[in-house]
C-alpha cells in the first residue's frame, strides 16, 4: 500500500509539472521546494509584460534542444547520485520526461522545456505554488524550487539552462531516507546542466 502511494505521488508530481507548465499545449516545465534545502539566493525577477523575461538572466547558457530526454542525465552522473541507468522514457503524449530509478522506491524524472521563455515560465505562475523559492545552482545558474505536492517525499526544481530554456527535475526520495528530497533534486539539476553543450 505504501509503495502504491509513493508511485501515485510520483506520477501526480510529474503530471502537475506538465499541467502547470502548459505542456499539453506545447509548453513545459515547473517546480517547487520543501523546507531547508539549498541556500536560497533570491535574484529579483523583473515585473514585465507577458513574453518578456521575469526570471534572472542565465550567465552561462547551455543548449538542451538537441538532447534526447534520457540523455539529459549522463549514466555516470546517474550512478554517482544513486540512480540506475539507463533512464526510462515515460509515456505521456504531451511532454517527454525520462525517469531513473533508485533503491527503495527512489526515482527522479527529468525533462527539458526548450521552446518558450525558460525559467520565466515558472515565474509567470508563481502564485500557484504554496512554496516558491529562488535558488542559485552551481555555476551560477538560476533556479526555482516550486512545488504543490508532498514536498517531504517529492521535490521539483526548475533550472534555467538559457534565457529561453529550462530543465525540470522531480525527485522522489527513497522510503529509507528521511532527507529533504529537494537537495537531491538540486544535485541532479546541476549534473544535467554540467553535461549540456554550450549555448549561444
Determine the average pLDDT of the residues in 159-176.
91
pTM for this model (two decimals): 0.76
Question: Nearest 5 degrees, angle CA 77-CA 83-CA 86?
Answer: 80
Helix H or strand E segment including 122? helix 120-124
Taking all residues of the chain, what is their mean pLDDT, rounded to a whole number?
77
pLDDT digits (tens, 9 = 90+) for 60-119: 999 999 899 999 999 999 999 999 999 999 876 566 789 999 988 889 999 999 988 899
Angstrom distance (rounded) from CA 156 to CA 100: 14
Beta bridge partners of 30: none
pLDDT band at 154 (very low <50, low <70, confident <90, very high): confident
- Paired sense of beta strands 84-89 and 131-136, if any: unpaired
Which domains occur in the chain, in start order?
Answer: 2-194 (3.40.1000)
Amino acid at each position: 500500500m505504501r509503495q502504491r502511494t509513493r508511485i501515485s505521488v510520483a506520477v501526480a508530481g510529474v503530471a502537475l509539472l506538465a499541467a502547470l507548465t502548459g505542456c499539453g499545449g506545447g509548453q513545459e516545465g515547473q517546480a517547487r521546494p520543501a523546507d531547508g534545502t539549498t541556500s536560497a539566493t533570491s535574484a529579483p525577477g523583473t515585473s514585465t509584460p507577458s513574453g518578456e523575461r521575469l526570471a534572472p538572466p542565465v550567465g552561462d547558457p547551455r543548449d538542451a534542444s538537441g538532447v534526447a530526454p534520457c540523455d539529459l542525465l549522463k549514466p555516470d552522473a546517474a550512478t554517482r547520485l544513486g540512480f540506475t541507468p539507463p533512464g526510462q522514457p515515460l509515456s505521456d503524449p504531451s511532454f517527454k520526461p525520462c525517469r531513473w530509478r533508485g533503491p527503495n522506491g527512489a526515482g527522479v524524472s527529468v525533462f527539458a522545456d526548450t521552446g518558450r521563455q525558460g525559467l520565466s515560465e515558472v515565474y509567470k505562475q508563481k502564485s500557484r505554488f504554496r512554496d516558491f523559492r529562488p535558488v542559485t545552482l552551481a555555476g551560477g545558474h538560476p533556479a526555482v524550487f516550486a512545488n504543490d505536492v508532498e514536498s517531504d517525499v517529492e521535490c521539483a526544481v526548475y533550472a534555467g539552462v538559457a534565457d529561453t530554456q529550462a530543465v525540470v527535475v522531480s525527485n522522489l526520495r527513497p522510503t529509507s531516507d528521511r532527507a529533504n528530497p529537494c537537495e537531491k533534486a538540486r544535485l541532479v539539476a546541476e549534473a544535467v546542466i554540467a553535461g549540456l553543450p554550450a549555448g549561444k
